[in-house]
Amino acid sequence: MSETIRVLHVLGGVGLGGAESRIMDLYRQMDREEIQFDFLVHSSAMNHRHNAFAENGSKEGSAAQPDNVRGGRKPEFYDDEIHQLGGRIYVLPKFKVYNYFSYRRAVKNFFQKHHEFRVVQGHMTSTAGIYLPIARKSGVPVTVAHSRNAGVVKGPKGIATRFFRRNLAKKADYCFACSELAGEDVFGKKAMDQGRVKIIHNAIDAGRFTYDPGKRAEVRKKLGLREELVLGHVGRFNYQKNHPYLIDIFAAVCKRRQDAALLLLGEGSDLEGIRAKCRMLGIEDKVWFLGNQKRPEDYYQAMDIFLLPSFFEGLPGVLVEAQAAGLKCFVSDTVTREAEATDLVTYLSIRQPADRWAGIIQDEAAYERENTCQRMRDSGFDVAAQAAGYRLFYQKGDCSGL
């Protein structure tokens, strides 16, 4: 039997985020005797160290470190599943700009010690211009820069991200992007026009999200919901997702519908601020803050309307999931149309008053929910088909199936 191909995915972390969830969907589809994923993540608790280490208790000698040496990195959402699937998690210092030289040194030390990877796929493009050239110089046969988003946060962090992404298309063997917008944002219009960027839409396990009236009734009963109009959102509480505006939309819906309820899945730095806003508007008893959930598909069943008023997205997997669940979706017009796999999506401007969204939601709230699973598969959003293309790529460097 041939040796297992090891693919290293570079990320900020392995928490419950869009990119992480899509990679895990793909990971579950792999024959792991043939192709195995490992993960290189970043932690601020590592800033005082120069070496990456493994976090799986593997028999790698000094590579695996006890908790008190790890610098305090907290376990993340997908840690346990990665280890169960046979993957290894390595940790680097979080990049802070001022630690540029120590970060480079940590990356260099890592790839000097690890020569087992055939492919390094960098989903963290803010520093891919640093770690991918080092990986290539260290002997990694294939390097990939993978754009997962179509914007950056405002302020110094966003400016730094743009700076370190310069000429990224020339620093990787392959450039992937989840949408045209994400490709142009990260790699530039020239690289896109020259055909140097491969567009690979985010795919999901569509069957998991198929509309199920029985599951819908079960989850709504669990939450204490009966005939309410249930709006929902899945995403990190951060600037990108635009939760303050989302709450304004919901508050405007509440003025029209006394039976409205809102389900919010996710965690993040802005969570407490959003709780406070709900209290200020007097709608806190209508909002369910559900945190991260291992089975988000159950909560899509309980919803009637899905909201995504983001400032920017690459190609949001949650919008694909919501459509797979048969939900009407109201989405910011800054989100790519490539995510529109069904006629369930309505694009609206976040520059207009939230009451405008509320009025349209009210007008379209009554609809017959259907099984859209096959439509999602036919539109190319099912991960099983995409996994076959990735297997060919990891084995032979052939992108034709993607």
Query: Hey, where are the domains in the chain?
Result: 5-203+382-396, 206-378
pTM over 0.85: yes
Alpha carbon 25 to its chain's center: 11
Long-range Cβ pairs for the range 219-222 (8 Å, 24+):
219/298, 219/299, 219/301, 219/302, 220/302
pLDDT for the residue numbered 45? 76
- The tens digit of pLDDT for each residue in 38-63 reads 999 999 876 544 445 555 434 333 33
Q: What token pair was written down for 142?
A: 């294939």
Longest dimension (CA), the chain: 65
User: 172: left (phi > 0), else alpha (psi -120 to 50), else beta?
Assistant: beta
Alpha carbon 366 to its chain's center: 30
Exposure pattern of 158-179 as b/e (b: 16+ CB <10 Å)?
Answer: eebbeebbeebbebbebbbbbb
List the beta bridge partners of residue 93. 43
CA angle at 228 for the pair 227 and 231, rounded to the nearest 5°: 135
Residue type, 280: M
Closest by Cα among 245, 137, 202 to 380: 202
Q: How far is CA 342 from CA 18, 78, 180, 210, 327, in A?
A: 20, 30, 19, 14, 10
Closest by Cα among 268, 209, 257, 208 to 230: 257
Distance between CA atoms of 39 and 8, rounded to whole angstroms? Answer: 5
List the beta bridge partners of residue 331. 308, 347
CATH 3.30.565.10, applies to 5-203+382-396: no
Residue 284 CA neighbour count, 13 Å, CB half: 10
Kindly report the number of other CB atoms within 10 A of residue 35's CB atom: 21
> Do 5-203+382-396 and 206-378 agree at the fold level?
yes
> Is the Cβ–Cβ distance between 178 and 200 less than 8 Å?
yes
Distance between CA atoms of 377 and 268, rounded to whole angstroms? Answer: 31
Positions of the chain with pLDDT under 70:
1, 46-72
Q: How far is CA 358 from CA 232, 310, 375, in A?
A: 14, 16, 28
Fold adopted by 206-378: Rossmann fold (3.40.50)
Residue type, 341: A
Distance between CA atoms of 63 and 58, rounded to whole angstroms? Answer: 8
pLDDT for the residue numbered 44? 87
DSSP state of 351: T
Residue 281 main-chain phi, psi, to 5 deg: -85, -5
> Is the Cβ–Cβ distance between 235 and 267 less than 8 Å?
no
- The tens digit of pLDDT for each residue in 81-109 reads 999 999 999 999 999 999 999 999 999 99
> Is the Cβ–Cβ distance between 22 and 204 less than 8 Å?
yes
Closest by Cα among 200, 230, 266 to 18: 266
Q: How far is CA 314 from CA 163, 181, 260, 338, in A?
A: 19, 7, 30, 10
